[in-house]
Structure 1
Amino acid sequence: MTPSYTHRRGRVIVSFALFAVCAALTGCGQKGPVLYPVTGKVTAPDGKSLEHATVVFHPVDATDPNAVKPRGKVGADGSFTLTSYTTGDGAAPGEYRVTVELWLSGKGDDPPANRLSDKYAKPDSSGLKATVNAGPTELTPFTVKR
C-alpha cells in the first residue's frame, strides 16, 4: 500500500519543521567561548571596600592583543561580577592576571587620578592572579593597598 499524497505532504511538512527547529537551536547559539559566572571581592588591607574600582582580567594565554578582557565594577561591599560581552555574563575558563584601578575625580580643575598604587594597573606588576573554572566561580578575595 502506497502512502497518499496528503500523507506524504504531511511527512514533508513535519520533516521540514524538525529541520528548522534543529537549525535554529544550533545556528543561533552563542558565538565565541563559553562563559561562566564569576564573582569576587576586592578590599583594602583594613577590610574597607574599594567601591567604584574597576577589576580587569587579562588572559594569560591570549595570543591576540585584542582578546576579550572580562571586567567588573566594585560595589559598596567590595564585591564584583565579571562581564565579557553583556552585563554579568562572566568569563571564559582559564588563567588570568588581574588589574585594579580606582579612578576618582580630582579637586577643582585637577584631572581624575588612579587612587591605587600604579603597580595594580599593570597585569605584569599587580601580583594578582585568578583561575576561572568551567562552571560558576567565586574567587578568593583580593586585598589591594591604596
Structure 2
Amino acid sequence: MLLPSHNLNAFSAGAVVAVLLACAGCVSNTTLTSPVEGVVTVNGEPAAGVSIVFHAQQEQPEIYSRPSAKSGSDGRFRLTSVSSGDGAMPGRYLITLTCRVPPAESAGGLLGGGVPDSVPADQFQGRYANPQTSGFSFEVRDTHNVVPPIDLKLP
C-alpha cells in the first residue's frame, strides 16, 4: 500500500528530526577541548583572584575563542570554555591577566546608601591586559596541558 505523498513527507521530516535530536547528545563539548591548567604567582608568591584569558590566534567557534579562569588561593587555575574546567581547543593563544582590586566605598557603604568611589582597578595597571603586549602565550595541544608558571610583577 502506498502512502499519500503528503503523509510520506511528514513522516520523512519527522524521522529526520528524530535522528538529529538523537545525535545532538552524541557529541560532548569536552571532546573539542583539552584540559589546561597552570599557576600564577606575583613576585614568586601564589596569586589569588587573577583573571586569566586565553585569546585564540586561529579561527574558532566564538564560544571557544576565549577560554578563561580565575586563580585560586594557591595561584592555580583550570581553563573553562563551555563547562567548568573543560579546557581549550587545541591551537595557539595569547594570554591576558588582570586582578581587579575592590573599589573603595563612600561613607555609609553600599548598604548605607554609599556607592563605590570608582570602578575596580587592575592591580597590574593594565600591564598584562593587552594580548598583543602581555608577553605571555601558550600552545594548547590535544592532550592534558600544563602552562609553565606565570610570574607577574607589580608595577
**What TM-score do you get using the length of structure 1 for normalisation?**
0.74
Is residue 118 from structure 1 mapped to residue 116 from structure 2 by the alignment?
no
Identify which of 36, 48, 53 aligns with 2:34. 36
Distance in 2, matches of 1:83 and 1:113, equals: 24
The answer for the alignment partner of 2:146 in structure 1 is 138
Q: Which whole-Å deviations, capped at 9, do the CAs of 1:69-116 have from their partners, x for residues lacking one?
A: 000110111110000001111100111000000011122223311001
Provide the secondary structure at the position in 1 that maps to 2:128.
helix
* Equivalence for 2:96: 99
Judging changes above 3 Å, is the alpha-carbon distance between structure 1 residues 33 and 123 closer, same or farther for their aligned structure 2 residues? farther
Say whether the 8 Å CA contact 2:63–2:82 is kept in structure 1. Answer: no
**2:139 counterpart letter in structure 1:** T
- For the 8 Å contact 1:33–1:92, the answer to whether it is kept is no
Unaligned runs of 5+ in 2: 1-17, 106-116
Q: TM-score scaled by structure 2?
A: 0.70
Residue 62 of structure 1 and its aligned partner are, at CA, apart by 3.2
The residue type equivalent to 2:67 in the other structure is: P
Q: Output the aligned Cα RMSD.
A: 2.6
- Whichever residue aligns with residue 138 of structure 1, its letter is V
Identity within the alignment, %:
32
- Measured in 1, the distance between the counterparts of 2:137 and 2:148 equals 10
> 1:50 & 1:105 partners in 2: Cα distance?
16
**What are the ranges of 5 or more consecutive residues in structure 1 without an aligned counterpart?**
1-19
User: How far off its partner does 1:65 sit?
Assistant: 7.2
Q: Which residue of 1 aligns with 2:78?
A: 81
Q: 1:52 is matched with which residue? A: 49
Moved over 4 A (4+): 63-67
